[in-house]
Amino acid sequence: MITKIRYILLVAMASMLIIACSKDQLNGESLICEEEIVYDDVRDVITASCGYSGCHNGINQDENYNNFAGLESYLDNGSFSSRVFVTRDMPPSNATGPTSLTEEELKLLQCWEQNGFSEF
């Protein structure tokens, strides 16, 4: 019984390690950000991909991705990073705006994440 519990714990810990490490990379390559990225640098990407009409624009929902204050709780709780970098399903395929982010946009957002999602 104890051996079975140890095995389950080992598998759970290994799974968490794999998931955590996968978040650190984009397309299998480490990204080195040469300059600090702040909200103003990513605002256009977020507005076009997330805060467009009918989605996270604050009109039809409580969520408002068209300003830093509305986005901040999603940055802090990890849901923004999870959807953009891990599951890579934002924007969704049925979006009325862009249906995917370019590699350049993903790298820009990842550098912003590495800078702690700085507002200024």
DSSP state of 85: I
What is this structure's pTM? 0.68
DSSP state of 25: -
- pLDDT digits over 27-62, tens only? 445 678 988 999 999 999 888 887 666 677 766 556
Which residues share a beta bridge with 26?
Answer: 29
What pLDDT, on the 0 to 100 scale, is given for residue 23? 47
- pLDDT digits over 70-86, tens only? 889 889 999 999 988 99
